[in-house]
Structure 1
Amino acid sequence: MGGVEVGAKESSSGSGQKRSGVSRGVALLDFILRLVAIIATLASAIAMGTTNESLPFFTRFIRFRAKYNDLPTFTFFVVANSIVSAYLVLSLAFSIFHIIRSGGAQKSRVVLIFFDTGMLALLTAGASAAAAIVYLAHKGNTRTNWFAICQQFNSFCERISGSLIGSFGGIIVLILLILISAATLSRR
């Protein structure tokens, strides 16, 4: 009967090592996804923040110009992406902590879920508001006499559309981060 107890102890310690390895792998995935989200949100903020285009009108001295800060929605988009990007850089410390110490990091995971959810809401608000303006820039609205400007300002529209793609990619990564943290907490 003593041999059975020893065998049970050995199998439970093997299971603990397996669980620790899985937790470390999940923590590493969390770190990599945070890096991807940083790149996506920072690139979106930079792309939108540096977007401008000027076109001549009748003469070369009179010009029409389109710049991101002409619309407060795009300014909000840049600020939201910048805030989320800065948060993600700071959250890398927690992610590294989870890699080093895979067990007993439940409280820090709860904190990350809380802040990740807040950043997801901020990023979604900024990207959604900017998406509405980008749609108007591409399609216009004849009922309200808002003309589509993308026929004239091609470069401007391409950059703001690309910036939106990066931001929505960041949203998807944040959703994955929240789901990974929640799944890790539910396993314990």
Structure 2
Amino acid sequence: MKAGGAIELGESKSTSSTPKIGGVNRGASILDFILRIIAFLGTLVSAIAMGTTRERLPFFTQFLQFRAEYDDLPTFTFFVVANSVVCAYLVFSLALSIFHIVRSNAKRSRIILIFFDTAMLALLTAGASAAAAIVYLAHKGNAKANWFAICQQFNSFCERISGSLIGSFVGVVVFILLILLSAAALSRR
């Protein structure tokens, strides 16, 4: 009994579980930060690998050459731009991710992140999927449309453009995980 006749009651169940939920949300926020760094690195490496891809092949003489560069195809240019935009967004979103580590119960900023993460997922998926279609044509060709497979001649070019897709699709998977993680953190409230 407290002074003044008030009876002191034990802790309610809702307050005893609050630290546990806060700890789970803090862990989710740290995982969010780590996943954003992984997605940043994947999109950065993809943009750099595709943006620096070029190969020249001599044809009879050194003066007559065939060349293959990423900017010969608008799809690859879109791929580089999409990965660069997503990479820049990830750098800026790291600040909100750090904010969520400090204040694990922030709700509005998580909703904003889910919105922008979804938009970036769409952009990254569009760029990676379009580039994957062109990479497939470069490797296999299409006899019905008279598109020849160029990878037998431009081997180094094809290896680099194929490799640059890996980082971008890693970014797509990470964005899906980020959206699910943010949604789970919001649903715990």
TM-score (norm 1): 0.94
Which amino acid counterpart does residue 53 of structure 1 have in structure 2? Answer: E
Which amino acid counterpart does residue 72 of structure 2 have in structure 1? Answer: D
Deviations 1:62-118 (A, max 9, x none): 111000000000000000000000001000010000000112x11000000000000
Distance 2:82 2:169 in 1: 12
- Equivalent position SS for 1:111: helix
Which amino acid counterpart does residue 58 of structure 1 have in structure 2? Answer: F
Question: How many percent of aligned residue pairs carry the same amino acid?
Answer: 73
1:85 aligned residue: 87
Which amino acid counterpart does residue 178 of structure 2 have in structure 1? Answer: L
Distance 1:142 1:128 in 2: 22
2:54 aligned residue: 52
Equivalent residues in 2 for 1:170-185, closer than 5 Å: 170-185=171-186
Distance 2:187 2:104 in 1: 15
Following TM superposition, by how much is the alpha carbon of 1:14 offset from its aligned partner in structure 2, in angstroms? 3.6
Matched, 1:148 2:149: yes
Task: Tell me the C-alpha RMSD between the 2 structures.
Answer: 1.4
Deviations 1:104-157 (A, max 9, x none): x11000000000000000000000110110000000000111000000111100
Q: What residue ranges of structure 2 are gaps of 5+ in the alignment?
A: 2-6
1:168 aligned residue: 169
Distance 1:14 1:46 in 2: 50
Following TM superposition, by how much is the alpha carbon of 1:13 offset from its aligned partner in structure 2, in angstroms? 3.8
- Equivalent position SS for 1:55: strand
- Equivalent position SS for 1:64: strand
Which amino acid counterpart does residue 119 of structure 1 have in structure 2? Answer: M
Q: What residue ranges of structure 1 are gaps of 5+ in the alignment?
A: none
Greater C-alpha radius of gyration: 2
Equivalent residues in 2 for 1:67-106, closer than 5 Å: 67-103=69-105, 105-106=106-107
1:136 aligned residue: 137
Deviations 1:150-172 (A, max 9, x none): 00111100000010111001000
Distance 1:102 1:124 in 2: 29
| Contact map agreement 2:141 2:149 (CA 8 A) in 1 | yes
Which amino acid counterpart does residue 60 of structure 1 have in structure 2? Answer: Q
- Equivalent position SS for 2:125: helix
The number of aligned residues is 184
Following TM superposition, by how much is the alpha carbon of 1:175 offset from its aligned partner in structure 2, in angstroms? 0.4
- Equivalent position SS for 2:134: helix
Distance 1:177 1:17 in 2: 23
Selected match of 1:16 from 15, 18, 21: 18
- Equivalent position SS for 2:55: strand
